Structure 1
């Protein structure tokens, strides 16, 4: 009954883990699909807002030198690709007149003859609003913004709001049958135009039938069958092992009764059987699995040729110990004789070995006392060197940790001092105080994450990659280093590609960029007119971030070992930053390289894999 209960528990664990993994993958895929569709919708709506502003500017430019009829005909042709622009008016102090053929009759709205472009709203809100500039007014129907996007396989619902208010411009809902939704994904964004920065809430329901219920059932059945099969095989194996152990016990009884030292080994020289005489001869308990080579030390006398331990232990045939060979045991040398015999299977394959030993007596033990004393001093010296090496390594790791934590701790002190100065004011700016305190907390969290990442680097653990905005990561690091950039008068030149999403760990990515930017700052601090350039370009298979400076470049003696730990040309530098950065980049599936630029200075290039879903959409 206990065995059946254990099998059932194992099956439940396997089935539960598999079903959880299926649902997790389905959730991640649904989330990624929604995020991609939401970005596309946001981009399309932003582009159409720009189209509306372009129409406003075009009408404002066309009205000069054209009569109303000609302007109306031009507008009918101009507005054909823009269904959301439903009417155009030309206003005067006494009222407004419709130009061309409107898609909808515009409502009454007091004219505004301001030369600056503006958005005009009807009282009470609604989907209609006007873009005005001078005496020209363009009416937009927000219900017509999406058009053909509503026919997609999984359309989106969105709500458009007036800026800085809860007034709804349009609530665009999509009918999706009668399927009940178990989850709703949603995201808030702002349309990317200066004139029409409308907040938008995008959402999508996830119905119950979108989850892998059938896959979960099939996995549960499959794991149940596999568990039953494996359990049956294990039970059969236990029976066979029990019979084998009985046979071993009988053979072991014979070996235990022998007065000679006998040790049976497997093919890796691990102890499988040792009799009492062997434990006494080697002065070791010889537990099962002990590597006999590690606990047995043979030593040749001065009159013999050096003993080749590797050749002896790995001999393909029977081999006898050289005459006069001694065994080092408990600080004394014991003369022994014996042999090592291979054990082979029915097919001739090596299955193990048997070592037999016999002591030759204490007569020759005193002959090796001086040699034994020298060996002891050598071992003590080796132990002392190993201890010093461990202390040195510990010191280097501590210094490396201090190097990585220096920047976030400096930022915490700076933000804390700034907050203290603000609080000392007679009327403290609480918003800036909150910002400084929040930034201190962020840098404290970053310091903690650096410790975790440094430990993961030592353990070579995999990074937790997820979709990450490469531009945002660079901007975060620039904000962190802004004080030093201003202090040194460094001019930063940026050239970013559009929406560079990469598959990376955000904290590790910012740590790599921070190391590269800090190295560039150190390189240009004595350079007239210092410049640091950051560019992001799309390459085959991923995004590439380049960080270059106009400093003295990489020294020739450092270039060959650039990413080797503890290699540096800085005074007082540890040489851990680039080594750690390359390790982090490779852990995220990318790479970090560095060389001297053709125009002078150093150029470092970080390459990271492109987000899989974004690449597939191309």
Structure 2
């Protein structure tokens, strides 16, 4: 059963129980009212039966001493309060005669004279019957017994029967709406002379039931059920979130390499991760007093360690530097802290102890440092090699005259030897000299080429997607010592994900040349600053290197990228020329100029990576 079905079932149970209670209460009210009205009707009828018998006894007592006229006058006055008594007869052996003014003409009934009271029924029964005693007979109309009781908001239906029979004396059935149920009761009138059976009923119409109350109750319970269910659902979600958060926190605690032990306010363990069990060489089950299984020992290099003050500190407290932990008879240097945990009311709820071994941490830091230094050295060697390789390309033009000299001499000596041999009497000594000189110059050229090949021999470079920001960061790392030594402030502003297609080493060589030129320019400048920025302009990436040095001298500005052009003492003048050639080989360019606010700015322009441009 899903949650929605369960909520619907709960609502149905609540609504059904409430509606049932409403209808049962209404039925109880109907029954109580009916019982009350039935008792009143029974009592009224019994009282009126007694009134009829009192009238009979009165006329029976008056009859012997009064003549018919006087008795008739007396009866008109006597019967006025009793509308159900419709006629009085005096009977003799010859028959019965009506006295006074009857309200109803009594039916024919044989004369019966008896000293005992009796009930006389006319032939066929009906609502008229007579009670007699001696010579007197009193006629009663059962239809007038109830009078005003026959009407009302919820009139009763009743039927009056002759004693010990199903012969109906009178039946009163008011017109009512269609009944949903009928309440019934049967009683016997409380007189000895007229013990008539009366059956009383009351139909309960459909409209009398509390339908509106049932609808309102159903709507109310539906709203309450939805509200309670929402609150419960919110609470369940909060509990799930809390459990998930606890599980994540527990997972983090279990996964970290540092020793973590959670304590209650009495220093008993509530949680310990595997690193804590290994560090303390103890299983640390919940409830363990951590003070009993942990022993710290001060070393000579620190102040004495006060264990009681440490464990009961009201605030966070760190372990003194150089403190050791005694573990299986061995002193292990550790560091860490004890932090109190407080509730929202500020009351202490517990503490958390964190520990880490200092020895392994120091070894790992040294290993990482040595590894980083090794990678920096390898990077510097690679950049130095690329520098030589790139410099060779730029030196080709400059060194061409070096090789051109021995080659020109070889040609000249060869031509001279040929002319000498064409003479009629060749001068062989001069020919030998020319040939020997040619050999010497050839050997010289070969030696120059061999030295250059040995200097630049390296595996060929390959272009690949390269992060321009990462290349700048690598070069900054290489130059960090010089930057710090000269007190140069470096300001950077990088765009997001500037990717290019380039050889990373050649790219870093260009950036290194630009950065070292900027360093040389600002070394005598107060508050030296170098700004490096990467922006996207005209579909390509632009790396700018700006310094606040003296700027570019006018005499070298026009031939800045010409080989062997330099303003540095002892410089070859090949760095910028080589860098521009490498940039152009990547599909970009390198330019330089004086900055408007002083200093020089060199801009390396490189095209965007093809797939980056396609996806951008």
TM-score for the superposition, normalised by structure 1: 0.42
TM-score for the superposition, normalised by structure 2: 0.42
